[in-house]
Chains A and B, each alone.
Chain A
């Protein structure tokens, strides 16, 4: 068992590295193919002497052939050096280290909201057909349809400006202050995802509720609470966990919109900004980060699945 687990993990890690390699190459090419020269963006409309242009071009290895640039970058990354941001003139590692805690906090916070609200509404909706179900469906439909930037505007004007309960911008310091600062952004971020999760939970639960084993359990006189928890929810967890796993990566990407709207300077707003000014090293590092987060989240989901449903062996596809 542990040997197969080891083999499974090893396989996944190799896969992860391969996917990261391929993505890094695709992103590198994409950024390079897009028109425009980073040095021009760097100078932001200021005059630049030909010597200075040449020096900057050499400094960022922009004068090397494309493949050389890629391999130089790759070599540095393997050595732990992600390069230097063209626009911030800081090491990318430092830059990301400054911003990542904010985004991580925001994503975890939003994820907690999504899980609690999404699960609760989904379960409620599945167990109370009729009016409650209709209301929840209407609400989830709306929340899925509301773009996060609209939610951001509405939340700000009501809870920050009119009522003054929450701050208007920034990420705060220390745990409680940060919690307070990031509440509105987390809610804006969580809305759509919570709606989705509620829908998934609802249908997974309904699916299980109509299964034979539930009927059997009930006819045997198992208390209803236990039926729901042990036989319905437990079996419905499979799709729910899978969806939550994919949401983590989706959320990392969605932070770009929410962070911009709330003036929270995290990784999301950094990514958007870096793409537009062609700050190659930052775009590369952040893309890899998002892809890695996605892969790791998936890996965790895969590791959890057999625990939820022992019928699913690890690497079941080998059969």
Chain B
């Protein structure tokens, strides 16, 4: 689960809206928007497409691929063992087949005839080298904890890899459909050494595009891979150039003038302008929501009633209006319906619909606070100008807390220090509430809920509930998706009752396509699915 990576990203995209003069922050009316899976299919090929990123990737090494810019590029260059399709289904990728003969064993059969960009064939040794690299402390992979239950990864045939676990964990298999499952050539890894993935070293994978050139500070150019194994995803665009435009208004302007053909993650302040342009603005699903994590359960918020009261007092509609110009909706749970794609869509919707809406009731909330004897107690909320929505949320939480008799103090944290709050518990000392956002790498909601177990990294407040831990353990050992989802529903119930985090709002992924181009998915799967393979001419 990528809580803070997303936060940093969202930050960068909406954030500097402030520096851009923000003259376009108009009415922000009811903002009706449709979330779609696809955009109209491309009608023909294109020689060259220019795509905007809000920042230059720091590296293209898959071991550190946990942020929007790098994943948006790498999804087209490097492929995973499994693949999440735009409709959020896990399907075979570089592994044509996988079996789970016993709860502790996963066997992957690799696709035949797949070649790396340098022409060498992919084999089991490449998978072993690529995956074991995550566990190497010297590498410091962003995904080391994904592999924490792994006992061994071995080559059991020229095209067969077996992963042995120390305890059942279905999530590991599912997460091989994202960056943790990327396969790079073993020889290339050895040859590139410490320069792997940087502008000198480059990467050598199997995707529909190969890395043609990385001009640091200027652009990353991908070239169509004519030898791509998946004929259904043969690229329609010959050359894809990524350019880095940090300033949100400059990015919006580059799209409006047609200097750049498209981009994900646009500044909310530019939505109205982009809507009115001759290109198209699309919205896709994100598998996570914004929430207020309770990071200190020893203070006033240690009492469940106080957490409930705070949740009841928050003006979520106001937040959506102020933070997102109305492009969002109040959240009912930490994972939105889109994050439940391991079960049929109707079931996911039913699960979501059965959740009670969180109604704002300050009077009842105030009573709860009094009952808990927390009247006048202090609560510290971290805020930052990392992204405008963080301060909007922090201010709304402060207003809600004050209304129900809590003494809420805002503590301003520098933007980069804010992201470090999530990694380093020592930096969270003295803070009670932290606004977080993010998305799950997989369509399985268990990914989020498992991260709230006792002692887990994303359980920022060290919340602990034995019943919950037992259910997570059971769910991790349940291979049937439907049965697992029912267990996850129970986890959701407990999480919403106990509120280790307070749900705030859901907001969509945004995508802009200039008038020349079409054919890519607007949703979060573009971070691991080769989205640009279907990108082509709109005319």
**Residues of chain A with a CB closer than 8 A to B257's CB:** 160-161, 164, 168
**In this assembly, does A52 line the interface, its C-beta being within 8 Å of a C-beta of chain B?**
yes
Q: A40-B424, A170-B243, A262-B250 are in contact. Are A56 and B419 (CB under 8 A)?
A: no
Is the Cβ of B423 less than 8 Å from the Cβ of A47?
yes
**Residues of chain A with a CB closer than 8 A to B58's CB:** 87-89
**In this assembly, does B59 line the interface, its C-beta being within 8 Å of a C-beta of chain A?**
yes
**Residues of chain B with a CB closer than 8 A to A89's CB:** 58-59, 61, 64, 194, 197-198
Is the Cβ of B140 less than 8 Å from the Cβ of A276?
no
**Residues of chain B with a CB closer than 8 A to A153's CB:** 19-21, 249
Is the Cβ of B417 less than 8 Å from the Cβ of A36?
yes
Is the Cβ of B144 less than 8 Å from the Cβ of A49?
yes
Interface residues of B in 135-176 (CB under 8 A from A): 137-145, 148
Is the Cβ of A45 less than 8 Å from the Cβ of B59?
no
Interface residues of B in 244-277 (CB under 8 A from A): 244-247, 249-251, 253-254, 256-257, 259
**In this assembly, does A37 line the interface, its C-beta being within 8 Å of a C-beta of chain B?**
yes
Nearest-Cβ distance from residue A52 to partner chain B, whole angstroms:
4
Closest A residue to B421 using CB positions: A45
In the bound complex, what is the Cα–Cα distance between A58 and B83 (angstroms)? Answer: 36
Contact of B424 among A37, A55, A84, A171 (CB under 8 A): A37
**In this assembly, does A109 line the interface, its C-beta being within 8 Å of a C-beta of chain B?**
no
Is the Cβ of A98 less than 8 Å from the Cβ of B140?
no
Nearest-Cβ distance from residue B246 to partner chain A, whole angstroms:
5
Is the Cβ of A55 less than 8 Å from the Cβ of B140?
yes
In the bound complex, what is the Cα–Cα distance between A201 and B457 (angstroms)? Answer: 62
**In this assembly, does A311 line the interface, its C-beta being within 8 Å of a C-beta of chain B?**
no
Q: A37-B424, A46-B4, A263-B247 are in contact. Are A168 and B140 (CB under 8 A)?
A: no
Is the Cβ of B217 less than 8 Å from the Cβ of A171?
yes
**In this assembly, does A25 line the interface, its C-beta being within 8 Å of a C-beta of chain B?**
no
**Residues of chain B with a CB closer than 8 A to A45's CB:** 3-5, 7-8, 419-423
**Residues of chain A with a CB closer than 8 A to B61's CB:** 89
**In this assembly, does B458 line the interface, its C-beta being within 8 Å of a C-beta of chain A?**
yes
**Residues of chain B with a CB closer than 8 A to A149's CB:** 19
Q: A49-B148, A156-B250, A156-B253 are in contact. Are A40 and B218 (CB under 8 A)?
A: no
1/0 per position for A49-63, CB-CB distance to B under 8 A?
A: 101101110010000
* Number of chain B interface residues as a range: 35 or more
Interface residues of A in 26-77 (CB under 8 A from B): 35-37, 40-49, 51-52, 54-56, 59
**In this assembly, does A238 line the interface, its C-beta being within 8 Å of a C-beta of chain B?**
no
Nearest-Cβ distance from residue B412 to partner chain A, whole angstroms:
14
Q: A36-B420, A168-B259 are in contact. Are A90 and B140 (CB under 8 A)?
A: no
**Residues of chain B with a CB closer than 8 A to A170's CB:** 218-219, 243
**In this assembly, does B483 line the interface, its C-beta being within 8 Å of a C-beta of chain A?**
no
**In this assembly, does B344 line the interface, its C-beta being within 8 Å of a C-beta of chain A?**
no
Is the Cβ of B419 less than 8 Å from the Cβ of A44?
yes
Is the Cβ of A44 less than 8 Å from the Cβ of B19?
no
**Residues of chain A with a CB closer than 8 A to B195's CB:** 90
Q: A44-B5, A52-B137, A153-B21 are in contact. Are A265 and B59 (CB under 8 A)?
A: no
**Residues of chain B with a CB closer than 8 A to A49's CB:** 137, 144-145, 148
Is the Cβ of B254 less than 8 Å from the Cβ of A169?
yes
**Residues of chain B with a CB closer than 8 A to A157's CB:** 21, 253
In the bound complex, what is the Cα–Cα distance between A75 and B462 (angstroms)? Answer: 44
Nearest-Cβ distance from residue A145 to partner chain B, whole angstroms:
18
Is the Cβ of A263 less than 8 Å from the Cβ of B199?
no
In the bound complex, what is the Cα–Cα distance between A170 and B215 (angstroms)? Answer: 11
Q: A45-B420, A90-B199 are in contact. Are A102 and B217 (CB under 8 A)?
A: yes
Closest A residue to B198 using CB positions: A90
**In this assembly, does A266 line the interface, its C-beta being within 8 Å of a C-beta of chain B?**
yes
Is the Cβ of B254 less than 8 Å from the Cβ of A48?
no
Interface residues of A in 260-319 (CB under 8 A from B): 260-266, 269, 276-277
**Residues of chain B with a CB closer than 8 A to A231's CB:** none
**In this assembly, does B226 line the interface, its C-beta being within 8 Å of a C-beta of chain A?**
no
A sample of 22 cross-chain residue pairs with beta-carbon separation below 8 angstroms, ordered by A number, consists of: A35-B417, A41-B416, A45-B3, A45-B421, A46-B66, A49-B137, A51-B137, A52-B137, A55-B140, A56-B140, A89-B197, A90-B198, A98-B199, A153-B19, A168-B257, A169-B244, A169-B254, A170-B243, A173-B218, A260-B246, A262-B247, A263-B246
- Which 4 pairs between the two chains have the least Cβ-Cβ distance? A45-B4, A265-B217, A47-B457, A45-B422
Apart from A35-B417, A44-B420, A160-B253, what are 13 other A-B pairs with CB-CB below 8 Å? A44-B423, A45-B5, A47-B458, A55-B140, A88-B59, A90-B198, A98-B199, A168-B250, A168-B254, A169-B244, A169-B254, A171-B218, A277-B416
- Residues of B that sit less than 8 Å from A by CB: 2-5, 7-8, 19-21, 56, 58-59, 61, 64, 66-67, 137-145, 148, 194-195, 197-200, 215-219, 243-247, 249-251, 253-254, 256-257, 259, 414-417, 419-424, 427, 457-458
